[in-house]
Amino acid sequence: MKPTRPPLSFLDRYSGEDFQPLYTATVAVTGGEAKHGRASGVARSHDGELELALRLPTELGGPGGGTNPEQLFAAGFAACFHGALSLLAARERIEIPDAEVTAQVTFGRDPMDGLFTLTATVRIALPGVERRLAATLVRHTERLCPYAKMARQGIECIVYLDD
């Protein structure tokens, strides 16, 4: 099946009192050899489309040789931002065939509590698009992209222990 773009109707506003779910991704991580998901785990999606070996990067004292949560988050962020950018550009009839979104996610120490936190930097390249127009597109995309909204506003997060 040939990949297709989502319809521009995805840009239609929703008005309702409750969150309206459209899609849910479910991924489970097991601990692997080291019994530690981040160090040697395996991430598997419930639909079977994703199966990845997780490895601690060498910068954090691990062996490398696999992907890590920061790379996965950066990939999701960049893909989502690119998709939102493409939808907005299509609505405005702006061609952006060479658009590139690069997300950089950094794991580090949190000065507030001494534990850990993430920072994200997103760079957008829009070759051939006039700078002012590109800046407007990016600004509007930042308001639309759920990853950018989450990074800016937070996310509802429920953590619970299964029976």
Alpha carbon distance 81, 70 (integer Å)? 16
63, 76: one domain: no
39, 80: one domain: no
Alpha carbon distance 70, 140 (integer Å)? 25
Number of domains composing the chain:
2
- Per-residue pLDDT averaged across 94-112, rounded? 97
> Domain containing 121 — which CATH number?
3.30.300.20
Grade residue 135 by pLDDT with cuts at 50, 70 and 90: very high
36, 62: one domain: yes
The pTM of the full predicted model, rounded to 2 decimals, is 0.92
CA atoms within 13 A on the CB side of 104: 6
146, 72: one domain: yes
- Per-residue pLDDT averaged across 66-94, rounded? 97
Q: Which domain holds residue 126?
A: 68-155
pLDDT for the residue numbered 1: 86
Grade residue 131 by pLDDT with cuts at 50, 70 and 90: very high
- Strands annotated E in the chain: 27-30, 42-45, 51-53, 100-109, 116-125
54, 73: one domain: no
Interhelix angle 131-144/69-91, nearest 10 degrees: 120
Domain boundary among 67, 93, 123: 67
